[in-house]
Each structure stands twice: as C-alpha cells, then as structure tokens.
Amino acid sequence: MRVGELSRRSGVSVPSIKYYLREGLLPAGERTGPNQASYGDEHLRRLRLIRALIDVGGLSVAATRAVLGAVDDDTMALHSVLGVAQAAVTQVGEPAEDEALAGATAVVDDLVARRGWAVHADSPGRRAAADVLATWSRLGAPTHPGPDAYAEAVEALAAQEVGGVITDDREEVVEGAVLGIVLGGALLSALRSMAQEDASARRLADPMG
C-alpha cells in the first residue's frame, strides 16, 4: 500500500509516519519510484505498536527506539528484551549522592534480599526505587505505607504478567511481553488512581478530611 493508505488504515497522519521513518522507528518501505514507496501489513502492525508505546504508554521517541531495537533483535534473549522495556518505563534521574540516598539504597537492598528477588545490582528499578525513597526522606513527608506495601502490591501481579506471554511465535511473544510491561504500567496507574479516589471518597467525606 502507499503511504496515504497506510495513514488511513493506521489512523496515523502522513507527517507522523514520515517522522517515524526518519527517526528509525518504522522500517523503510519498498522503493517503487523516485518519491514513492510501498508498505505492507508489517508496517501497519509496527505503526500500531509505536502509537501504543508512545501515546498510551507515555514512552519518549528515544525509549521507543530502544524497545523496538530489542524487539527486532532476534539474537536477544526474551529476558533481556523485557529488561530493555522495563528500563524504558522506569524513570531514573541523577540522584544526589547523599546520606538520604545511601539510606534508601540500603532499604531497597534489604527489601530485595528479604523477598529473595533475583534482581541485578544495576537494575533501573532498584535505582529508581532508591531515588524515590531518598526524595521522600529528604522532604520529611508524613509516613507513607513503606516499600513492602508496594512490593506486595506488584509481586503476584508481575508473576502473572510475565507468565502470560509464553507462546511459540517469537515476534508475538516479544511484542506481547513489551506491551504487557508498557501498557500494564499505564493500566496499573489508572486503576491505582481510581482505587485512591474510592478510598479518598470513603475517608474524606467531610470538606476538610
């Protein structure tokens, strides 16, 4: 199909398609003339995946490129592809190296050890969790439920999420797993927002709470 039909069928504008081509997110079509190319169903599928990652998952173009590169690398083990997707959805800043961070890192290390989690020392989730806890402690904010409450919330879910993606087709497995990580994160956030609204409506029925 030509780029106009690809746009119509995907719901993605032609300028956006050209942008994704330039940025290397979408592979080039088959050249059919000096200014023309032909696209196939694999381009349509890829465009839908790109929009899911960017629009719904909130990934940056750079993070999307990294994730798609891993998806397309047939030599990469699934565990490693998942690691790239997990890194893409995990915000890690450049935390100040202070006592708060040292304390928070020890708390996270202890949590990982107690729960027996097989997690690399330089896993982005580990650094991001320490960064959040250090920030909380620097702000002297009122007590939050503590990291174990959050760990318990995701532990059983993560096992279901990872267990659900096993089929025989590598492309399907990998895309499904990446979508699970990215879209699942957005779904978890949306449902947490609703569950909080519910808890807040019950607890804070009076004007000031």
- Minimum CB separation of residue 100 from a copy of itself in Å reads 11
Please tell me whether residue 172 binds a copy of itself under the rule CB under 8 A. Answer: yes
Tell which positions 42-61 bind a copy of itself, by CB under 8 A: 48-49, 52, 55-56, 58
Are the C-beta atoms of residues 19 and 146 closer than 8 Å to each other?
Answer: no
Residues recorded for the chain: 209
Tell which positions 76-115 bind a copy of itself, by CB under 8 A: 77-79, 82-83, 86-87, 89-91, 93, 96, 112, 115
- Minimum CB separation of residue 102 from a copy of itself in Å reads 16
Identify the residue among 30, 110, 159, 171 touching a copy of itself (CB under 8 A): 159
Cβ distance to a copy of itself smaller for residue 38 or 138: 138
71, burial (CB in 10 Å: exposed 0-12, middle 13-18, buried 19+): buried
Please tell me whether residue 121 binds a copy of itself under the rule CB under 8 A. Answer: no
Please tell me whether residue 129 binds a copy of itself under the rule CB under 8 A. Answer: yes
Please tell me whether residue 28 binds a copy of itself under the rule CB under 8 A. Answer: no
> Residue 89 and residue 67: Cα distance in Å, rounded?
10
What does the angle CA 84 – CA 86 – CA 87 come to, to the nearest 5 degrees?
65
Cβ distance to a copy of itself smaller for residue 32 or 153: 153
Nearest to 133 by CA among 110, 116, 155, 156: 110
> Residue 206 and residue 197: Cα distance in Å, rounded?
14
> Residue 180 and residue 82: Cα distance in Å, rounded?
10
Please identify, among the stretches 1-9, 16-24, 27-35, 121-129, the one whose residues bind a copy of itself according to the rule CB under 8 A.
121-129
